[in-house]
Amino acid sequence: MEAVEMNSVSLKRPHSEDDVASADEIKRQKILEKSKAGSDSGQSIETVTEQLKDIKSEMIPNDESEEQEEEDLGDSDEDGDPESFADMMKHGLTESDVGITKFVSSHKGFSGILKERYSDFVVHEIGKDGRVSHLDDFSVPVDDEVNFEDPSEETFTVLSDEDKQRLEELQLFKNKEASVAIEVIEDTKEKRTIIHQAVKSLFPGLETKTEDRDGKKYIIAYHAAGKKALANPRKHSWPKSRGSYCHFVLYKENKDTMDAINVLSKFLRVKPNIFSYMGTKDKRAITVQEIAVLRITAQRLAHLNKCLMNFKLGNFSYKNHPLKLGELQGNHFTVVLRNITGTDDQIEQAMHSLREIGFINYYGMQRFGTTAVPTYQIGRAILQNNWNEVMDLILKPRPGAEKGYLVKCREEWAKTKDPAAALKKLPVKRCVEGQLLRGLLKYGMKNIISAFGIIPRNNRLMYIHSYQSYVWNNMVSKRIEEYGLRAVPGDLILKGATAVHIEEGDVDNYTIHDVVMPLPGFDVIYPKHKIGEAYKEMLVADNLDINNMRHKIRDYSLSGAYRKIIIRPQNVNWEVVAYDDPKIPLFTTDLDKLEGKPLPVLPTDGKFRALKMEFSLPPSTYATMAIREVLKMDTSIKNQTQLNTTWLR
Q: What is the DSSP letter of 304?
A: G
Any catalytic annotation for residue 282? yes
Half-sphere exposure for 174 (CA within 13 Å, toward CB): 8
Cβ atoms < 10 Å from Cβ of 111: 25
Q: What is the DSSP letter of 285?
A: S
Considering only the C-alpha atoms of the chain, give the largest distance between any 2 of them, rounded to a whole number of Å. 96
CA separation for the pair 146, 592 (Å, rounded): 35
3 state SS of 334 = strand
Amino acid present at 499: A
Q: Are 99 and 589 in contact (CB under 8 A)?
A: no
Residues near 484 by Cβ (< 8 Å), separated by ≥ 6? none
3 state SS of 589 = coil
CA separation for the pair 498, 562 (Å, rounded): 9
From the list 312, 271, 262, the residue with the least C-alpha distance to 294 is 271
Residues near 88 by Cβ (< 8 Å), separated by ≥ 6? 9, 82, 399, 400, 401, 402
Question: Strands 498-501 and 492-495: what pairing?
Answer: antiparallel
Question: Strands 359-360 and 179-183: what pairing?
Answer: unpaired
Q: What is the DSSP letter of 277?
A: E
- Of 24, 256, 259, 282, catalytic: 282
Q: ∠ CA 494-498-503 to the nearest 5 degrees?
A: 60
Residues near 528 by Cβ (< 8 Å), separated by ≥ 6? 489, 490, 501
- Sign of the C-alpha dihedral, residues 260, 263, 268, 269? positive
CA separation for the pair 591, 132 (Å, rounded): 15
From the list 265, 56, 411, 213, the residue with the least C-alpha distance to 48 is 56
Amino acid present at 166: R
* Three-state SS letters, 116-165: CCHHHEEEEEEECCCCECCCCCCCCCCCCCCCCCCCCHHHHCCCCHHHHH
Residues near 131 by Cβ (< 8 Å), separated by ≥ 6? none
CA gyration radius, the chain: 27
CA separation for the pair 649, 642 (Å, rounded): 12
CA separation for the pair 70, 443 (Å, rounded): 25
Residues near 605 by Cβ (< 8 Å), separated by ≥ 6? 578
3 state SS of 75 = coil
Amino acid present at 246: C
Inter-helix orientation angle 17-35/47-59, to 10° = 150
Catalytic center residues: 282
